[in-house]
């Protein structure tokens, strides 16, 4: 599994833990639902700004995702 996939899986887990759907997240982000679907299925790469915006919306700490990914390479 690549580091990109690990980060996306972490974002999916955070969304699920928050108990919100792709549609609800897209509404909070003021983006189309397809935006969420595309990054969750690795059809779209996220920019750092998008990643942070999604984390903030989910009330998740983006450094947790990065830290867990980095720790796997130690």
Consecutive 10-residue runs of the chain (74 residues): their mean pLDDT?
92 97 98 98 96 97 90 68
Task: Give 42's DSSP letter.
Answer: T
- Structural Rg of the chain based on CA atoms: 12
Phi, psi of 35 (to 5 degrees): -60, -45
Tell me which H or E stretch contains 63.
Answer: helix 62-71
d(CA 33, CA 70): 30
Q: Report pLDDT for 73.
A: 65
16-25 as b/e: b if 16+ CB within 10 A: eeeebeeeeb
CATH match of 3-71 with 1.10.260.40? yes
| Confidence (pTM) | 0.91
Residue-range domain boundaries for the chain: 3-71
């Amino acid at each position: 599994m690549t580091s990109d996939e690990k980060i996306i899986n972490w974002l999916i887990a955070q969304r699920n833990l928050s108990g919100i759907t792709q549609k609800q997240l897209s509404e909070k982000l003021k983006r189309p639902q397809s935006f969420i679907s595309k990054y969750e299925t690795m059809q779209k790469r996220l920019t750092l700004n998008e990643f942070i915006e999604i984390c903030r919306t989910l009330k998740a700490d983006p450094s947790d995702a990065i830290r867990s990914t980095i720790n796997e390479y130690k």
